[in-house]
A and B are shown apart, each in its own frame.
Chain A
Amino acid sequence: MRWQRGLWLFLVPSFGLMALVLLWPLAYAAYLSMFDYHLGSPGMRFVGLANYGQLLSEARLWQSLWTTIVIALGSVGVEFLLGFVLAFALYRLTFSVRVFMILLFLPHIITPVVATLFLKWILTSNWGLIDATLMTFNIGPPDWLGNPVWAKICVILADAWIFTPFVMLVLYAALQALDQAQIEAASIDGANSWHMIRHIILPSLVPVIVFTVSVRLMDVFRFFDAVYVLTGGGPGTATETITMYTYQLGFQLLQVGKASALGIITLVIVAAVIATFSHLLQRGYGRTG
């Protein structure tokens, strides 16, 4: 219709805003990634894809990527399991749901850096809350943030503590929208709780699960604040994620070109992970229920 031709004009403000805050920085990062540019150096030298080649040949990149994957899968796994259990418990609860919901949601309301600072003082060696308590009973605790394995576990648990409430809330909202007739029918047919979860509830929640896990995976791949505050990427490089590496390149070594290239590589990896995960999950359940 003729009157519809001019409607594209309504898209201009939102597209303009997106271009300004999203596409322009992205394009600028892609542009910078093709230069040997060190802050403080007199100028920039065009090097094409050399920054990408150099990064991809570095063991440090692959190690930080592996650490990111371990932390991402660990924390999203814990968040999903705990979040689902809590959401299901709230769904079945018949009293004080709101009170429990608010209490469970508290860690997510606090700013992540502040929440992680709390955890840091709880986990600090010798005079932290956990250490001081255990040592009162003559129990020698492990070096939570100084041992490579424990440091990874602490980082995973820190992220899970902050973001499990988010997963719980989304899944709880999705549970509210379940088709009760289907559940009642299954109940009449003699399905127990596990069968109900396995064959009715989980398949019904697939779109929400895909959304939640995708959002969390994207977040965890850009995971920075908890690692920065808790371990600074250490001990050694045991908890150095890909964003910690980018941060060190950009803000400590001031290698802007290389840091931008690493940012673009991260973007590609995250997009690939999300696409693969989404595809696998959709295919696995087929959305047929």
Chain B
Amino acid sequence: MSRTSLTRRSLIGAAAATALAPYVKPAHAAGPIRVISHRQPALEYYTEQMKKALPEGQVSVELMPIDKEIELASITMSSKSDAIDVAYLNDTTMQKFAASGWLEPLDDLWAKYKGEFKLDDFPKSVIDSISYNGRIYSMPILTNTEMFFYREDLFKESGTALPKTMQEYFEAAKKLHQGRVSGTIMTLKPVDGCLNESHWYLNAIGEGWFDKGWKPIFNQPAGVKAITMMKEMTAFAPRGFTSAANDESSINLQQGLAAMGLQWFTRAASMDDEKKSRFVGKINWIVPPGGGQRIANDGYAISKYSSKDKDAIFKMLATAASQQSMQKGAELAMPPRLSVLDDPELNKKYRWYSAARASLEVGKPFPSMPDFLDVGAIVTRYILQAVTNEKEVKVALDMAAKETAELLQSRGYYK
């Protein structure tokens, strides 16, 4: 007959474990919470708020261009590594990451801290944009829209009317394209820059990207007309437009190398920053001609594979997205909180807010599909081939539509 032996060592061990039990918490990995983010002025501010939300040294932030950041997040999370705890994601990438199962659903934490951080202050449209299949996956940090930037002095001097349609925009760019001043900025760096610019043309002139069954329609006559105009517009763009990202386009406006063009709301403040801009007070903003430019809701999501305390991470994100924090951040980005957006002082203080609010009314987000960035990689490649005369516009768009349909077929979009 066997019996369990009771040794002195096991008795001491059991006693020690019993004594320590009330103090033991779930194990979390040591080291700071690692946040990776796109680099732009507003996000520099909000990541700084994250650092301040926790004791010094507990948060490490890495800022980089968005394509690098998304790549790093994709590779890390797809390999189920805990190397990244928090990643900045826009609405499109958030859907892709959530659909892949790489993000921590935040519903429970959202409910737990709803009162403490006044999370009801976010409008439903914003909550929808940070949700996938009915679950919340990200802490909203900014609402962003592209606006139409223009040099007021040049328009007045030349007696040019502000453009309301794409045709008027084309005529104005042609007229103001003189000497070292290009008619318009064009941000066509693949994939992100070119995708945003194409989105505008395809909505303002064309009929958008897809029909209701996710079949590509950007190669239909209206889409061909849109990209043809985009190609013709490049005659008035600064040299290097095919590799120009938002930074290059902003510098072109700040240094007087371009008269107008589409840029993000988050770049507006830098136009009035005398350290960066030679035309402080001379750049103004209106709704993009034709409307249909991109609007986005961006936020910070927690990796499903993070080994850190997710409760603490959520509180850190909620602190950075608090009403007080967003009141200060409103200079750099449009805050998604209603209480801040409704503040009448904002319009007085920041002269680009009225154009931004109007732009939000006519803008459109990217199509709501997790695979849109993959589609974007395909389509922008062909659009750039068309723009640089490697292919005819119609031929390029037909090839893009065919490749897109094949991709979506393989991902189960069509029955």
Q: Given A39-B100, A126-B240, A234-B190, does the pair A252, B377 have CB atoms closer than 8 Å?
A: yes
Which residue, A126, A144, A236, has most C-beta atoms of chain B within 10 A? A236
Interface flags for B73-99 (1: CB within 8 Å of A; 0: not) read 011001000000000000000001001
Complex: A237 Cα to B388 Cα, angstroms: 9
Which one of B38-46, B53-61, B215-223, B250-258 is at the interface?
Answer: B250-258
**Which range holds the interface residue count of chain B?**
20 to 34
Q: Does B336 reach chain A (CB closer than 8 Å)?
A: no
Q: Given A232-B243, A234-B190, does the pair A126, B377 have CB atoms closer than 8 Å?
A: no
Question: Which 8 A-B pairs give the minimum distances between C-beta atoms?
Answer: A125-B240, A40-B100, A235-B242, A125-B239, A39-B78, A143-B239, A236-B388, A236-B385
Q: Does A254 reach chain B (CB closer than 8 Å)?
A: yes
Report yes or no: B388 in contact with A235, Cβ–Cβ below 8 A: yes
The one of B251, B255, B384, B410 that contacts A235, using a Cβ cutoff of 8 Å: B384
Q: Given A40-B78, A127-B255, A253-B374, does the pair A236, B239 have CB atoms closer than 8 Å?
A: no
Q: Does B225 reach chain A (CB closer than 8 Å)?
A: no
Complex: A125 Cα to B239 Cα, angstroms: 6
Interface flags for A242-272 (1: CB within 8 Å of B; 0: not) read 0000001001111000000000000000000
In the complex, the number of residue pairs spanning A and B with C-beta atoms less than 8 Å apart equals 83
A257 shortest CB reach to chain B, Å: 11
Interface flags for A143-161 (1: CB within 8 Å of B; 0: not) read 1111010000000000000
Complex: chain B residue closest to A141, CB-CB: B239
Interface flags for A52-95 (1: CB within 8 Å of B; 0: not) read 00000000000000000000000000000000000000000000
Q: Does B364 reach chain A (CB closer than 8 Å)?
A: no
Complex: chain A residue closest to B101, CB-CB: A40
Complex: A236 Cα to B387 Cα, angstroms: 8
Point out the residues of chain A lying under 8 angstroms from B387, CB to CB.
235-236
Report yes or no: B381 in contact with A236, Cβ–Cβ below 8 A: yes
Interface size in chain A (residues, C-beta < 8 A):
29
Can you give 11 contacting A-B residue pairs, CB < 8 Å?
A38-B410, A40-B78, A126-B238, A126-B240, A127-B251, A233-B190, A236-B242, A251-B71, A252-B71, A252-B191, A254-B78
Point out the residues of chain A lying under 8 angstroms from B78, CB to CB.
39-40, 254
Q: Which B residues between 168 and 214 are near A, CB-CB below 8 angstroms?
A: 180, 189-191
Report yes or no: B390 in contact with A238, Cβ–Cβ below 8 A: yes
Q: Does B285 reach chain A (CB closer than 8 Å)?
A: no
Report yes or no: A251 in contact with B242, Cβ–Cβ below 8 A: no
Q: Does A278 reach chain B (CB closer than 8 Å)?
A: no
Q: Does B241 reach chain A (CB closer than 8 Å)?
A: yes
The one of A38, A145, A237, A248 that contacts B390, using a Cβ cutoff of 8 Å: A237
Q: Does A106 reach chain B (CB closer than 8 Å)?
A: no
